[in-house]
Structure 1
């Protein structure tokens, strides 16, 4: 049980930077599109 938790945490730490960059890119894109519509 604990090993599964640690395994998922290591996966999360491995993919966290990509996920954060993706979310930031998506939010930035939405922000730009909203500004362009004005």
Structure 2
């Protein structure tokens, strides 16, 4: 296990997960904004 190569792969996986979670969070926020907008209109 170990070694610089597997560490790089782990970092890549973490970065992908972070980007995915961030995208999901933004998606949820935009849905909430749409819901709020509907109430105001």
What RMSD in Å do the two structures reach over aligned CA positions? 2.0
Considering fraction of residues, name the structure with more helix: 1
Q: Which residue of 2 aligns with 1:27?
A: 30
Q: Which residue of 2 aligns with 1:37?
A: 40
Q: How many residues align?
A: 32
Gaps of 5+ in 2: 1-7
Task: Report which of the two structures shows the higher radius of gyration computed on alpha carbons.
Answer: 2
Gaps of 5+ in 1: 1-5
Runs of 4+ in 1 over 6 A off after TM superposition: none
TM-score (normalised: structure 2): 0.59
TM-score (normalised: structure 1): 0.62
